[in-house]
């Protein structure tokens, strides 16, 4: 276990976050060009039908801490950190673009129980979920049963790779404590009520992972996940979007509406993180789909 995750499992202020960190398994995954002995963190919690949860940009598995207690009686939840994000190892000189993220996730899926898997993706994790589902439909038909996307970022638009220097400056900017606090507050519908020391701690804890800035800069240089929603996978898809989302602006929402149509549902009293602002509504949307 990484030092940061060990600390989280023992000392994190948020008890639900501690529970997620304590449930981490360290898996050996066959990834090209990477030592087979390297271990990758995935929280595995609950029992029942397997359900894969994918976090957003510059975040970690801990962002699902409030959704876990609402689903773990029905599902075996698999919550990985995406390649190059969260508390994953970050080998130097490695490519940290979308293909690496997808290769890592396919290796995680191959470790999951056989049969259909449910898939929930939040923010950038929503776009990752769409691409992963599309690929698995071709390679392993029936492996993904349905999707729930939470304020998906990157389904529309186009990649905008950051050139060298700007990518590193961007990562350094995102590491500033004042910037972290501001982004954390911006993500919630009512930051004065919802954001305190516990939320700020979780939003920044993974920054202590070795190689955080380098991997983030390389991901930014790749252009990341953008314009990946078309064609949508031929699966049941439900989308929740916070009515008070201040991270994804109105033009992004309108583009998503054009792509998703009636699949997109607005959630009142909710910012960019439905699984944190309104976890009960997210759980109900999944259970009743």
pLDDT tens for each residue of 41-76 = 999 999 999 999 999 999 999 999 999 999 999 999
Question: What range defines the domain where residue 183 resides?
Answer: 3-288
Number of structural domains found in the chain: 1
pLDDT band at 1 (very low <50, low <70, confident <90, very high): low
Q: What is the pLDDT of residue 7?
A: 85
Q: What is the pLDDT of residue 144?
A: 98
pLDDT tens readout for residues 261-273: 999 999 999 999 9
Q: What is the pLDDT of residue 4?
A: 84
Assess whether pLDDT exceeds 90 at residue 159.
no
pLDDT tens readout for residues 65-110: 999 999 999 999 999 999 999 999 999 889 999 999 999 999 999 9
Q: CB-based contacts of 17: which residues, under 8 Å, 6+ apart?
A: 8, 62, 65, 198, 202
Q: What is the pLDDT of residue 165?
A: 81
Q: What is the pLDDT of residue 166?
A: 84
pLDDT band at 181 (very low <50, low <70, confident <90, very high): very high
State the chain's mean pLDDT as an integer. Answer: 95
Q: Which has more confidence, 16 or 159?
A: 16
pLDDT tens readout for residues 198-253: 999 999 999 999 999 999 999 999 999 999 999 999 999 999 999 999 999 889 99
Q: What is the pLDDT of residue 93?
A: 86
What CATH number is attached to the domain comprising 234? Answer: 3.40.50.1820
Residue 208: CB atoms within 10 A of its CB come to 12
């Amino acid at each position: 276990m990484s030092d940061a995750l060990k600390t989280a499992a023992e000392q994190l202020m948020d008890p639900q976050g501690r529970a997620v960190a304590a449930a981490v398994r360290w898996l050996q995954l066959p990834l090209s060009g990477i030592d087979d002995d390297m271990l990758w963190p995935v929280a595995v919690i609950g029992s029942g039908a397997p359900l894969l949860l994918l976090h957003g940009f510059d975040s970690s598995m801990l962002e699902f801490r409030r959704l876990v207690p609402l689903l773990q009686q029905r599902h075996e939840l698999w919550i990985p950190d995406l390649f190059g994000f969260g508390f994953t190892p970050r080998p130097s000189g490695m490519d940290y673009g979308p293909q690496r993220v997808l290769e890592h996730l396919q290796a995680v899926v191959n470790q999951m129980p056989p049969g259909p898997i449910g898939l929930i993706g939040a923010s950038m994790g929503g776009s990752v979920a769409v691409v992963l589902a599309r690929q698995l439909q071709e390679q392993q038909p029936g492996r993904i049963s349905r999707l729930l996307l939470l304020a998906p970022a990157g389904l529309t638009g186009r990649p905008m790779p950051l050139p060298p220097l700007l990518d590193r400056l961007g990562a350094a900017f995102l590491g500033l404590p004042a910037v972290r606090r501001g982004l954390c507050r911006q993500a919630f519908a009512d930051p004065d009520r919802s954001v305190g020391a516990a939320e700020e701690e979780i939003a920044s804890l993974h920054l202590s992972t070795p190689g955080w800035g380098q991997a983030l800069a390389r991901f930014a240089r790749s252009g990341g996940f953008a314009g990946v929603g078309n064609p949508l996978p031929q699966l049941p898809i439900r989308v929740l979007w916070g009515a008070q989302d201040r991270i994804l602006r109105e033009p992004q929402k309108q583009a998503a509406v054009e792509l998703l149509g009636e699949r997109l549902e607005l959630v009142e009293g909710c910012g960019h993180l439905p699984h944190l602002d309104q976890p009960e509504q997210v759980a109900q949307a999944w259970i009743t789909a």
